Structure formats: C-alpha cells, structure tokens
C-alpha cells in the first residue's frame, strides 16, 4: 500500500495500469456502505436531509449545504466558485455532492477523510456559512424543539445527542443516499448494447486507449477503490507549460500542498469523479474552464501530452454524457421551527449600501 501510495502521490502511475483498468468497466453501485460508527437509519437520513437544506446553519440564515451543492441539479452551483457569507468567494469550484459518498477523501485537496469530516467544514468556514463557533451551531439547533427530538431519535444511546459530530453524521448519512445509478453507461456495462450510441462507444474506447482510465478508473471514474481517508491524488498539470496553464490559471492554487505544505504535493489534486460531469460545468478546481469539450482538450494536453482531433473530443464528450445517471426523486424536508420567534439575530438587518429600492 505504501508503495502504491508513493507511486500515485508522485504522479508516476504506470500507463499499463490504464490497460488493466480499461478492461474493468464497472457499473455504479446503487448503495454505498456506511462506516461502522455511523450506520444508516431512516430517522438519521431524514434529520440529515433537514440539516442539509437548513439555511439557519449559516450565520445570516441564507446559506445551506444545498446552496453550493444543489441536489436539484448536478449537485454543485453551476458557478466557477461559490458565493459564501457577505458575498465572499473562495478560490475553488463546488464539487458535486452526488456520488461523493464513493470518494475516499473529500474536498479537492482531500483534506477531509470522510463525508463526516467534510460536513462541519463549510458550516464554520468564515467565507462559507460562517457560523462563529460550534457552540453557536448547537445553541441554534437547541432552540428548535423538533431538531432536539430528532437528534435524540437518531442517536438514542448518546448522552448528548445534539452535537457537532452527530450533525456531521446525519448529513453524511443523507449524502450516502445521493447516488445516481443506471446511467446509459451503466446500462451498457450491464449488457444493454443499445444503451450507448455508436459515438459514445467510440468515445469510451478512446477514453481507455488514450489513457484517461489511468486516473479516472473504477465505478466512480475517480480512481481505484481505496480505504476511507486514503486519497487518490494526481498532479495537474502532469505535463507543464501548455497554453492552458496561463489561460485558465491552473497552477496558482497548489492543491494538496496547500494542506500538507509539502513540495511533493504541489499541484496534486484528488482525482474527481466523472459521474454526471455533463451537469457540473464550469470545470476544474477553479471553475475556469467553461465547457466540457474544452475540459477534455485541457486534460489530454496537460495529463497525457496529447492533442486531440475535434472528432475525438466530440466522441469523448458524447461518452462522458453517458455518465449522467438517474437522480432519485426526493421529497422536500419540512424544516423545524421554533414557534413564535426566530433563531436568527435581528442585529443583522442593517442595509448594505443605502438603497431606497423597495423589496418585499
């Protein structure tokens, strides 16, 4: 394992791996195993869904998990980067929440090992949901009787069911239900030869033959299945110096190195899933590449040092569109209330600017 990790981390993955993986087209599992310390239960998933959609988990009551990871579309926000509290912008593009449960590390730089680890990050991040402290999150939730009750039901054996770690567990449990099986690709892999068009099949072959599968392997097209917390990272760009580097500002953000501080991790990134990639433009960690065809060109050049023909690009894009899965129908949660008052501070009402425009 150590050996492999070093190989992967240094971007030296052998190309013959591609050939091996290419013969292993896998359908997306319909369910994802939960960790031993956070088993799925119906009440926990329902609680997690409420929390996921509750904007009161943000300082001003305006942002929920769903604001940046919108499950009503591709699981992101269709933006280059996200808009956090007080119009703050981070430097990275929201990854999709769909099938995130299949990734062995979370965030672009893999700085969270699990969905549970990830979930608390944005809530407390000063440029995202910006809650001032865990204590303040728990205080707010504690003022909503239905949450108090649901935390008790979801975590019945705990002395303090309403906690930040249980909030994270509930959200993670909900996120484990966000799987998009049965794409055209999945149907094809399961034996329905008519599920893909001829162009998509050509694209699929190119995808393997060009070497895309060296990194985008496995059922989730995000690399081999690794233990939770062990990320599958790759250098981007692997072949430096292309025109795209400056055009799309690809190397300023050092990726994994921004977490570890190690030189060897510079511009190393978690290999993202390609599931539903047609729905998650704009592309890459900084969301600077507007379209999937251009993203394909960038990848071919920076990772494989290849220039593709327009036909190859079109074939690959067609294939990638076959990875758009079925999104399970969901009911909207009813968010708990604290009747007759609000958990949000009235002190936040000041006008930004001095508009005399009428609103509501």
Considering the complex, state which of residue 232 and residue 327 has its C-beta at the smaller distance from a second copy. Answer: 327
H helix runs in 180-321, sequence order: 184-189, 198-210, 243-247, 257-260, 292-304, 310-321
Minimum CB–partner distance for residue 349 and a second copy (Å): 4
Distance CA 42, CA 154 (A): 8
Handedness of CA 195, 192, 207, 181 (dihedral sign): positive
Please say whether the beta carbons of 4 and 230 come within 8 A.
no
Find the catalytic residue in 46, 116, 128, 294.
128
Minimum CB–partner distance for residue 288 and a second copy (Å): 7
Minimum CB–partner distance for residue 87 and a second copy (Å): 4
Considering the complex, state which of residue 13 and residue 150 has its C-beta at the smaller distance from a second copy. Answer: 150
Distance CA 244, CA 348 (A): 43
Distance CA 174, CA 41 (A): 10
Considering the complex, state which of residue 13 and residue 138 has its C-beta at the smaller distance from a second copy. Answer: 138
Distance CA 183, CA 321 (A): 9
Minimum CB–partner distance for residue 155 and a second copy (Å): 23
Distance CA 202, CA 43 (A): 45
Exposed e or buried b per residue across 130-149, where buried means at least 16 C-beta atoms within 10 angstroms of its C-beta = bbeeeeebbebbeebeebee
Minimum CB–partner distance for residue 61 and a second copy (Å): 5
> What phi and psi values does residue 83 have, to the nearest 5 degrees?
-105, 115
Minimum CB–partner distance for residue 48 and a second copy (Å): 14
Distance CA 21, CA 18 (A): 5
Considering the complex, state which of residue 264 and residue 290 has its C-beta at the smaller distance from a second copy. Answer: 290
CA neighbor of 187 nearest in space, from 200, 177, 178:
200
128 is catalytic: yes
Minimum CB–partner distance for residue 340 and a second copy (Å): 4
Considering the complex, state which of residue 307 and residue 348 has its C-beta at the smaller distance from a second copy. Answer: 348
Distance CA 122, CA 270 (A): 19
Considering the complex, state which of residue 1 and residue 349 has its C-beta at the smaller distance from a second copy. Answer: 349
CA neighbor of 151 nearest in space, from 176, 169, 172, 124:
169
Which DSSP helix (H) or strand (E) runs through 235? Answer: strand 233-235
H helix runs in 24-161, sequence order: 42-53, 65-68, 115-124, 134-142, 145-154
Please say whether the beta carbons of 275 and 323 come within 8 A.
yes
Considering the complex, state which of residue 73 and residue 149 has its C-beta at the smaller distance from a second copy. Answer: 73
Active site residues per annotation? 128
């Amino acid at each position: 394992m150590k050996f492999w990790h070093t190989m992967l981390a240094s971007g030296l993955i052998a190309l013959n791996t591609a050939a091996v993986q290419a013969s292993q087209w896998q359908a997306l599992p319909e369910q994802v195993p939960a960790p031993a310390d956070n088993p799925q239960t119906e009440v926990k998933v329902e609680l997690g869904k409420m929390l996921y959609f509750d904007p009161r988990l943000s300082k001003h009551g305006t942002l929920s998990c769903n604001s940046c990871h919108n499950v009503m579309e591709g699981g992101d926000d269709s933006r280059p980067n996200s808009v956090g509290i007080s119009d703050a912008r981070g430097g990275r593009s929201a990854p999709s929440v769909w099938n995130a449960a299949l990734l062995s590390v979370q965030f672009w730089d893999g700085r969270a090992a699990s969905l549970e680890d990830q979930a608390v990050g944005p809530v407390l991040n000063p440029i995202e949901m910006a809650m001032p402290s865990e204590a303040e999150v728990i205080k707010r939730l504690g003022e909503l009787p239905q949450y108090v009750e649901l935390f008790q039901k979801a975590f019945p054996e705990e002395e303090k069911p309403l906690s930040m770690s249980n909030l994270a567990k509930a959200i993670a449990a909900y996120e484990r239900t966000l799987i998009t099986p049965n794409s055209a690709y999945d149907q094809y892999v399961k034996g329905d030869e008519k599920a893909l068009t001829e162009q998509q099949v050509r694209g699929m072959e190119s995808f393997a033959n060009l070497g895309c599968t060296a990194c985008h392997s496995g059922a989730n097209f995000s690399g081999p299945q690794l233990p939770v917390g062990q990320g599958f990272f790759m250098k981007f760009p692997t072949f430096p110096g292309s025109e795209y580097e400056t055009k799309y500002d690809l190397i300023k953000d050092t990726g994994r190195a921004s977490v570890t501080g190690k030189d060897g991790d510079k511009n190393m990134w978690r290999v993202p899933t390609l599931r539903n990639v047609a729905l998650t433009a704009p592309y890459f960690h900084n969301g600077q590449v507007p379209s999937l065809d251009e993203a394909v060109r960038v990848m071919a050049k920076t990772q494989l040092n290849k220039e593709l023909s327009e036909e190859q690009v079109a074939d690959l894009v067609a294939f990638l569109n076959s990875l758009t899965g079925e999104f399970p129908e969901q009911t909207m949660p009813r968010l708990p209330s604290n009747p007759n008052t609000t958990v949000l501070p009235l002190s936040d009402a000041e006008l930004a600017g001095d508009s005399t425009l009428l609103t509501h």
